[in-house]
């Protein structure tokens, strides 16, 4: 991969992680659960986001 593609990938991961963290902070979950999700996303950016997306708290529509 070229540097440009890696930079784009990094920016996309950063945007996804920021979206997840904002969603977590704004959710009605318990503070401990929020903190654990945020730590997971910060420690494992790609994997943490995917796990949160699949298993995390869902918003009611």
- How large is the angle between the packed helices 3-25 and 31-43, nearest 10 degrees? 170
Give per-residue pLDDT as tens, 3-57.
788 889 999 999 999 999 999 999 998 999 999 999 999 999 999 999 999 998 6
- pLDDT in the model for residue 56: 84
- Is the confidence at residue 59, as pLDDT, over 70? no
- Token output for 46: 């790609």
User: What gap in Å lies between CA 36 and CA 28, rounded to an integer?
Assistant: 14
**8 Å CB contact between 2 and 34:** no
pTM: 0.84
């Amino acid at each position: 991969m070229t540097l440009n593609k890696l930079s784009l990938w990094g920016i996309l991961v950063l945007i996804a992680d920021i979206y997840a963290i904002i969603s977590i902070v704004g959710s009605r979950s318990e503070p401990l659960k929020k903190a654990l999700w945020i730590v997971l996303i910060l420690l494992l950016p790609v994997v943490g986001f995917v796990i949160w997306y699949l298993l995390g708290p869902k918003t009611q529509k």
